[in-house]
């Protein structure tokens, strides 16, 4: 069972390396430019699909096995899903690179079919297990939003070839981005954190109520946000959406504090500690956005605020949370795969020996610092500062992923 998650995670790691190598070739300057062009679409989808979503799918296959204590519905279907999704994303990326709408449409359809295979496999596994709690419901909702995100993407891809959606293309795009980032990634991260954080902290006795509240608030934020975009961004709608999402984040942060209060382990590792810090940073940024929406809502039409928000959420929270969890997940998968059968029969290393925690701490701190430079450059529209921060972010990210990849040689 470990081979299937490892396949997804390894592929995602390779895509992550490719994303940052390409960023270095542009000296990080593309980060401060509008992404609504073929080059921007290529880079964003390389990060979101071939890295983030690949990693997330692999994590779902592995962690659902732990949560449900039962085998996946079909491992063979998992490999078919992998092939279909990878082929579709490669065709899609080729379409963006070559600016050919036929490739974009075909890649979008094939990618969505891969998502549907994933949803069927996970859905059947959950149905047979019949264990419905905050973790499984959150995962089911996240997968549902992934399907809707892919469906909207496929609709836009087809629209490039046969324009049939008229003037709602931009609304579809906004809803596509919202459901993918906040729905798919947000609910998956929070949902699996209900299981992983207590495991990493060795915590017992935390309140079971807060995860249910987070689930309700987060779903409300996703649905309200999608309606806000699809209805043409009505006045004061953004304030309501931001307020609901901020409430969900505040309850989520309270839940992490409750886990730490009931812990029986001094430190869960630097990677996990930094994910807590990143959540607090996102809460602060969301509070700032809420204040702006109340006092000066016209600022939301400015490109630099949207760009900064995208980077703060996608890299400052989603990416850094995934990277923090990878410092634990990859050593666990590799140790189990390579040394698990030898445990008790021969001297084997412990999992903490596979990755130096002090290097994880430096890597996470470096990426956070670099991202702050990028955000400062975007806010002041200083292209050299954006480029400097982007280059630092890529160099440190590459070094960090190299640290994770080195686990496979241990």
**CA pair distance 45, 52, nearest whole angstrom:** 9
Which residue segment(s) compose the domain that 85 sits in?
3-409
In tens, the pLDDT along 119-146 reads 999 999 999 988 899 999 999 999 999 9
The predicted model gives 225-241 an average pLDDT of 88
CATH of the domain at 200: 1.20.210.10
d(CA 15, CA 182): 22
Burial 65-90 (b: 16+ CB within 10 A, else e): bebbeeebbeeeebeebbebbbebbb
Phi, psi of 343 (to 5 degrees): -60, 130
Distance between CA atoms of 154 and 109, rounded to whole angstroms? 6
Number of domains present in the structure of the chain: 1
Rank 108-117, 165-174, 290-299 by mean pLDDT and report only the highest.
Answer: 108-117
How many other CB atoms sit within 10 Å of the CB of residue 272? Answer: 23
Tens-place pLDDT, residues 12-64: 999 999 999 998 888 777 787 777 777 888 999 999 999 999 999 999 998 88
d(CA 327, CA 323): 7
Q: Residue 343: its pLDDT value, please? A: 66
pLDDT over 90 percentage in the chain: 60
The string of pLDDT tens digits covering residues 191-229 is 999 999 998 898 888 888 999 999 999 999 999 999 999
pTM: 0.93
Please give the Cα distance from 142 to 200 (Å, whole number).
Answer: 23
Helix (H) or strand (E) holding 94: helix 75-98
Report the alpha-carbon distance of residue 221 to residue 379 in Å, rounded: 26
- In whole angstroms, what is the distance from residue 295 CA to residue 395 CA? 38
Per-residue pLDDT for 256 more than 80?
yes
Strand partners, 346: 343
State the average pLDDT for the chain.
Answer: 90
Helix extents (H) in 300-382: 303-313, 320-338, 357-380
Distance CA 289, CA 239 (A): 9
pLDDT at residue 1, as a whole number: 63
**How far apart are the C-alpha atoms of 386 and 369, rounded to whole Å?**
13
């Amino acid at each position: 069972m470990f081979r299937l998650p490892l396949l997804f995670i390894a592929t995602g790691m390779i895509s992550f390396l490719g994303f940052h190598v390409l960023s270095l070739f542009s000296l990080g300057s593309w980060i401060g430019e509008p992404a609504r062009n073929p080059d921007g679409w290529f880079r964003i989808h390389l990060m979101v699909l071939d890295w983030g979503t690949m990693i997330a799918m692999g994590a779902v296959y592995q962690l659902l096995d732990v949560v449900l204590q039962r085998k996946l519905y079909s491992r063979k279907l998992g490999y078919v899903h992998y092939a279909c999704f990878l082929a579709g994303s490669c065709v899609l990326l080729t379409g963006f690179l070559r600016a050919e709408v036929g490739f974009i449409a075909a890649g979008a359809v094939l990618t969505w079919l891969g998502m549907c295979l994933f949803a069927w496999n996970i859905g059947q596994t959950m149905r047979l297990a019949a264990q419905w709690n905050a973790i499984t419901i959150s995962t089911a909702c996240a997968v549902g939003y992934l399907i809707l995100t892919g469906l909207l993407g496929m609709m836009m891809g087809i629209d490039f070839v046969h324009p049939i959606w008229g003037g709602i293309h931009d609304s579809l795009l906004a809803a596509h981005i919202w459901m993918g980032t906040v729905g798919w990634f947000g609910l998956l991260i929070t949902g699996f954190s209900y299981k992983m954080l207590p495991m990493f902290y060795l915590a017992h006795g935390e309140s079971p109520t807060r995860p249910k509240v987070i689930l309700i608030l987060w779903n409300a934020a996703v649905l309200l946000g999608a309606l806000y975009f699809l209805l043409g961004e009505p006045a004061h709608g953004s304030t309501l959406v931001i307020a609901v999402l901020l409430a969900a984040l505040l309850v989520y942060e309270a839940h992490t504090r409750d886990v730490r209060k009931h812990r029986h382990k001094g430190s869960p590792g630097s990677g996990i500690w930094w994910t807590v810090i990143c959540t607090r940073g996102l809460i602060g940024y969301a509070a700032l956005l809420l204040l702006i929406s109340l006092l000066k809502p016209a600022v939301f039409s400015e490109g630099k605020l949207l760009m900064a928000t995208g980077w703060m959420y996608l890299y400052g929270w989603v990416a850094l949370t995934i990277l923090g969890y990878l410092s634990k997940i990859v050593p666990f998968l590799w140790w189990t795969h390579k040394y698990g059968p030898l445990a008790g029969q021969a001297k084997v290393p412990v999992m903490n020996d596979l990755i130096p925690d002090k290097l994880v701490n430096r890597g996470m701190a470096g990426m956070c610092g670099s991202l702050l430079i990028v955000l400062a450059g975007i806010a002041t529209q200083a292209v050299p500062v954006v480029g400097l921060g982007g280059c630092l972010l890529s160099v440190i990210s590459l070094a960090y992923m190299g640290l994770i990849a080195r686990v496979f040689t241990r």
